[in-house]
């Protein structure tokens, strides 16, 4: 990657991840390891990045691990691939794998896990004379393990433990790999509603994710907040007839991270620096509580920090699916606004899904992002091999 390309990429990433302040009212919340917020699978990605309350599937680990006890099969694995920022470069990608397994004969418990690897490609580093020195491969890695259990006939809860590692090392002593630990607490309720003669499936879910330590890239001199997040959602599945089903889903998201304080008129450099130091000194747990009322713009800005996504899925004969959705983030908090489209095909042993993103915000490098996912049912594969 040449210097101009690297500079342009870094600027583009700052736009997407919210590390640049472009205007007085533009106040995004900076977080470490932003790839944890990316929807890794094509099913949720095809519906506007919704998934906390959609019908359970093999991809549920990212969205809500509490959905796994409601799956009818005993186990499954999935693999997803996303070439990220493909409009800018060709060597940035997100790889994701997840799986689950039911425990016992009562199907009340499940163990699940996932691995996430986000590569920023290869970057050539030059020495003081401008000659090639070495090539580095910055990346982000996450591994998690979850336990979920049905607590009632309609409700299940889940706890997820996660190990995180980010390596942006450039070959000098100023940067070191960062390590962190986090946990998720999730719940999912599945019940039926009756509308006339139709029985509709109602899903309600929540997920408090990435609640944990802060992470440092300089040996502990400074530390940064993980993207702790609260996701709430609802989904309603309507059976049009015996072979056709239509579902509508809505997710609401809010980062549980303190809001940066904008410069104040007449403020001295020392006062501004003190507020910056105070912000950096907030603990991750204290930051969760302060995140609900610390926006400089008051209630209006707090509402701007809520992201929402709406998705629709049509399924024929439980085999063919088409999807669409919309994701909205305030222009003052990152300006991620886009439509998504997707399709899926499912058999007894496997399913394949694809999703495509079209940005509605001008000059958005996320435009034309493609996601591909492949899932396998372990029990179905066993039956084929007998």
- The string of pLDDT tens digits covering residues 99-114 is 999 998 888 999 999 9
End-to-end, the C-alpha distance of the chain in Å comes to: 50
Please tell me the distance from the alpha carbon of residue 273 to that of residue 283, in angstroms, as a whole number.
18
Total domains in the chain come to: 1
**Among 83-87, 251-255, 332-336, which stretch is predicted with the lowest mean pLDDT?**
83-87
- State the burial class of residue 377 (Cβ atoms within 10 Å of its Cβ: 0-12, 13-18, 19+): buried
Question: What per-residue confidence (pLDDT) applies to 355?
Answer: 96
Tell me which residue range forms the domain holding 220: 3-385
On average, the pLDDT of the chain sits at: 85
In 227-369, DSSP assigns E strands to 229-239, 244-255, 306-316, 320-328, 337-346, 350-359
What confidence score (pLDDT) does residue 17 get?
41
- Give the model's pLDDT for residue 169: 72
Residue 204 pLDDT > 90: yes
Give residue-wise pLDDT tens across range 121-173.
Answer: 766 554 445 454 455 678 899 999 999 999 999 999 999 999 999 987 766 55
pLDDT at 382: 73
> What is the average pLDDT across 200-215?
95
Token pair listed for 205: 């879910």
Buried b (16+ CB within 10 A) or exposed e, 150-161: beeeebbbbebe
Q: What is the pLDDT of residue 198?
A: 79
Partners of 112 in the beta sheet?
100, 146
Which two three-digit tokens encode residue 55? 């019908």
Structure-block tokens of residue 99: 């799986």
pLDDT in tens, 64-76: 999 999 998 899 9
Tell me, what CATH number does 118's domain have?
2.40.160.40
**Residue 272 clears pLDDT 90, i.e. is over it:** no
φ, ψ of residue 253 in degrees (nearest 5) = -130, 145
Cα(171)–Cα(78) distance, integer angstroms: 35
**Run of H or E including 66:** none
Residue with tokens 């919309």: 326
Q: Which residues contact residue 303 at a Cβ distance below 8 angstroms, ignoring those fewer than 6 apart?
A: none
Confidence tier at 19 by pLDDT (50, 70, 90): very low
pTM over 0.75: yes
Quickly state the pLDDT bin for 225 (edges 50, 70, 90).
very high
243 within 8 A of 69, measured Cβ to Cβ = no
């Amino acid at each position: 990657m040449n210097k101009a390309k690297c500079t342009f990429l870094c600027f583009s990433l700052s736009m997407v991840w919210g590390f640049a302040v472009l205007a007085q009212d533009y106040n995004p919340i900076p977080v470490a390891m932003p790839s944890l917020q990316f929807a890794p699978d094509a099913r949720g990605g095809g519906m506007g990045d919704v998934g906390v309350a959609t019908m359970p599937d093999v991809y549920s680990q990212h969205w809500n691990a509490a959905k796994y006890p409601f799956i009818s099969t005993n186990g499954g694995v999935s693999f997803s691939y996303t070439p990220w920022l493909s409009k800018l470069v060709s060597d940035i990608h997100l790889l994701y794998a997840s799986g689950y397994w039911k425990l016992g004969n009562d199907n009340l418990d499940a163990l699940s896990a996932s691995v996430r690897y986000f590569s920023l490609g290869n970057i050539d580093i030059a020495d003081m004379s401008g000659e090639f020195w070495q090539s580095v491969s910055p990346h982000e890695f996450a591994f998690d393990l979850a336990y979920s259990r049905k607590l009632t006939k309609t409700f299940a809860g889940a706890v997820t433990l996660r190990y995180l590692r980010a390596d942006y090392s450039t070959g000098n002593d100023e940067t070191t790999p960062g390590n962190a630990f986090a946990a998720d607490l999730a719940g999912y309720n599945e019940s039926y509603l009756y509308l006339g003669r139709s029985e509709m499936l109602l899903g309600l879910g929540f997920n408090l994710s990435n609640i944990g330590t802060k992470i440092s890239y300089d040996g502990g001199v400074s530390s940064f907040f993980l993207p702790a997040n609260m996701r709430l959602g609802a989904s309603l599945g309507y059976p049009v007839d015996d072979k056709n089903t239509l579902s509508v889903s809505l997710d609401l998201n809010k980062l549980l991270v303190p809001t940066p304080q904008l410069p104040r008129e007449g403020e001295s450099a020392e006062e501004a620096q003190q507020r910056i130091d105070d912000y950096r000194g907030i603990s991750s747990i204290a930051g969760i509580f302060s995140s609900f009322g610390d926006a400089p713009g008051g209630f209006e800005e707090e509402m701007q920090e809520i992201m929402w996504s709406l998705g629709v899925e049509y399924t024929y004969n439980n085999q063919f699916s088409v999807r669409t959705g919309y994701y909205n983030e305030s222009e003052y908090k990152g300006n991620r606004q886009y439509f998504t489209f997707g399709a899926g095909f499912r058999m007894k042993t496997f399913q394949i899904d694809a999703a495509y993103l079209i940005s509605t915000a001008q000059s958005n490098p996320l435009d034309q992002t493609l996601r591909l996912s492949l899932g396998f049912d372990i029990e179905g594969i066993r039956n084929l091999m007998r």
